[in-house]
Structure formats: C-alpha cells, structure tokens
Amino acid sequence: MLLDIEHEGQIGRGEASMVPYMGESFETANDFLRKLDLSWVKCPIDFEEVLSYLDRVASGNPAIKAAVDIALHDLEGKLTRQPCSIRFNSLQANMPLSSVTIGIDKPEVIIRKVKEAEFAKVLKVKLGSEDDKRIIKVIRSVTDKPLYVDANQGWGDRIMASEMVFWLEEQGVVFVEQPMKKDDLKGNAWVTERSPIPILADEAVQRFEDIERVKDAYHGINVKLMKSAGMYEAHRMILRARELNLQVLIGCMSETSIATLAGISLAPLCDWADLDGPFLTSNNPFAMPCFEDGKWILPAGPGLGLQELLVDY
Ligand code: MG
C-alpha cells in the first residue's frame, strides 16, 4: 500500500507492507489513516513527536505508521534538498552486502532461484522444516556463496536446533535468524550460548521496547521498518543495539523501491542487509534502486532518492 503526503508543492512517498502475523490488513491501514490529522506537522519535522502522535492515535499498526514516517522522511529530504542518508550519517563505504532470499521449494525450483540470484553475493535461505539439510545440500550443489539462514521459529527442540546451527556453520552459514519460537526466550538463549555463529531475533523483536527483553537471548536483532513503525524508530533501535553490543541485520517485508530505499539509507549502520523486496516484488511501480557488486548504492537525490514512476498506481 503506497502513501503520498503533499506539503508546500512537494510529495513525500511512503509505503506499508502489511503482513498477516502483525495483525494488519488493507482495511486496518485505511481505518488508521482515517483517524489521522497531520496538518500540525511542520518542517523541520520532529519525528519523535510524529511517532508519539501516531502511537497515541492507536496502538499496533506498525506498517501503516511506517508508511507515514517514511513519507515524511522523504518529504523533509525533498524540502531541504538532502538525502535521508545524511540525517542518519550513513556512508556508502560502510554499506554491507545485501542478500537475496531463496524460499523453501522443490530442488529444481531452488536450483533455478539460486541461478537467477547470480547478481547477489550472499543468499538467504528459509529453513525450519524437516527438509533443512536437504535444502542446504541442494544449494551447495550449485553455489559456494555465503548463506544467511532464517529458521522462522521452526525448530522446536533446543538440542536439535543447536546441532543444526553447528552443522550449518560447517556449510558456510554466516548467521541464523529466529531458531525457535519467539516466546521461547530460554530455548533461544540456550542455542545462542552454544552457537559458533550469531543467532538473531526477528519475530521476537518488533519495536524499540522489545530490545531489553531479548538482549541476553540473542547475539543480535533483525530490524525491519514495517515492525519498527518506520525509519525514526529503526534508527533508535540500531543505536540502542550497538550500545548493548548486539549485532544488527536490516531486513524487509515484500516491498517496492520506496521502503527499500528507506532501508538502504539505514543499512550502512548495520552489520548485514537483507533488502531484497524489489527483487521479489512483481508489481514495483518504481525504477529499481542501484545495486552493484552485491550492495545497494545510496542514492544522491533528495529524500529517499526515489527514481521515476514507471507505472501509475
Ligand atoms: Mg525472519
């Protein structure tokens, strides 16, 4: 769902990617937008005040709040003629590689997807089923690229989860995301304590306030704009994680160039990036941001640096 906010002749563009497990839908997003009055927002925008207003309007709704926050960041960047990356002190020199996700599928489909992702220097693999070792072996039959693994809360037994992590490390896996259920703090902590590679929280961390609760159970967190209610809080989460010596992955949902560019502007502050939304989205109405040598390029244009609209929406 795309959102435009117009002010002083400029248009800020935002986007919400609603995922069912967060309880959001097109209907809940529209209900939320109907309650908003943003006429008080002035440039320079006080993003802390904006977010506290959005949270007062209704709890939850992180993706549609992210759409408002992203559109206002784009708008302010356009009004002040500055790229969003400047606001966050993000430098291209610190841009991490970005992975492309390979979903759970039949071996021939996995092999085709790995070949299609040839432009990526690192792949992310969704695991969490009975077939995990077979899937990794299929991928290893066609590529020796580093792999990120997302177990998606799929491992129910901590001993089995820990053995899988050791086996995956031998297979060239860099980190494992959310090995066990998000509420199983002790199980995840047990796996983390023994793991030779970083274990990251995804579903277990949504917003800033969640970090303290999980900080001892994982080596790091997966920050996503659609969970954090946008760029302002994602930035705070990254800084707080750093203070706590937690590592940071910046991830995404199914997103067009808009939310991806918002993530790109924060990615240099993170250890890893998994911003593959536009590669997996068939109806992106915008030009693809620039991707070279496995990394996104920070755009020079103001705001998000969104390129031309290719298709009307
Ligand atoms: Mg995940």
Spatial contact of 77 and 258, defined as CB atoms under 8 Å apart: no
Residue 281 confidence class, pLDDT cut points 50, 70, 90: confident
Average pLDDT score over residue span 247-257? 96
Whole-number Å distance, alpha carbon 201 to ligand 1 midpoint, is: 8
% residues pLDDT > 90 (the chain): 92
Average pLDDT score over residue span 5-22? 91
Q: Could you tell me which of 123, 128, 204, 120 has the C-alpha nearest to residue 160? A: 128
Residue 265 confidence class, pLDDT cut points 50, 70, 90: very high
pLDDT in tens, 96-131: 999 999 988 899 999 999 999 999 999 999 999 889
Q: Are residues 96 and 64 in the same domain?
A: no
Whole-number Å distance, alpha carbon 202 to ligand 1 midpoint, is: 5
CA dist 207 and 127 (Å) reads: 24
Whole-number Å distance, alpha carbon 77 to ligand 1 midpoint, is: 30
Whole-number Å distance, alpha carbon 39 to ligand 1 midpoint, is: 36
Average pLDDT score over residue span 182-195? 98
E strand or H helix at 257: helix 257-266
CATH of residue 126's domain is 3.20.20.120
Whole-number Å distance, alpha carbon 203 to ligand 1 midpoint, is: 7
Last residue of a domain, one of 83, 106, 135: 83
Spatial contact of 259 and 276, defined as CB atoms under 8 Å apart: no
Whole-number Å distance, alpha carbon 205 to ligand 1 midpoint, is: 10
Average pLDDT score over residue span 26-55? 96
- Confidence at residue 311, expressed as pLDDT on a 0 to 100 scale: 66
Give the domain range for residue 111: 87-296
Whole-number Å distance, alpha carbon 313 to ligand 1 midpoint, is: 29
Whole-number Å distance, alpha carbon 225 to ligand 1 midpoint, is: 13
Last residue of a domain, one of 83, 105, 140: 83
Whole-number Å distance, alpha carbon 150 to ligand 1 midpoint, is: 5
- Confidence at residue 286, expressed as pLDDT on a 0 to 100 scale: 92
Whole-number Å distance, alpha carbon 308 to ligand 1 midpoint, is: 30
Q: Are residues 27 and 169 in the same domain?
A: no
Q: Are residues 220 and 278 in the same domain?
A: yes
- Confidence at residue 156, expressed as pLDDT on a 0 to 100 scale: 92
Residue 313 confidence class, pLDDT cut points 50, 70, 90: low
Whole-number Å distance, alpha carbon 74 to ligand 1 midpoint, is: 26
Whole-number Å distance, alpha carbon 53 to ligand 1 midpoint, is: 29
The CA-CA-CA angle for residues 282, 256, 200, to 5°, reads 105
Whole-number Å distance, alpha carbon 37 to ligand 1 midpoint, is: 33
pLDDT in tens, 124-141: 999 998 899 999 999 999
Average pLDDT score over residue span 190-205? 98
Q: Number of structural domains, the chain? A: 2
Q: Are residues 195 and 175 in the same domain?
A: yes
Q: Are residues 14 and 125 in the same domain?
A: no
Residue 305 confidence class, pLDDT cut points 50, 70, 90: very high
Q: Are residues 130 and 237 in the same domain?
A: yes
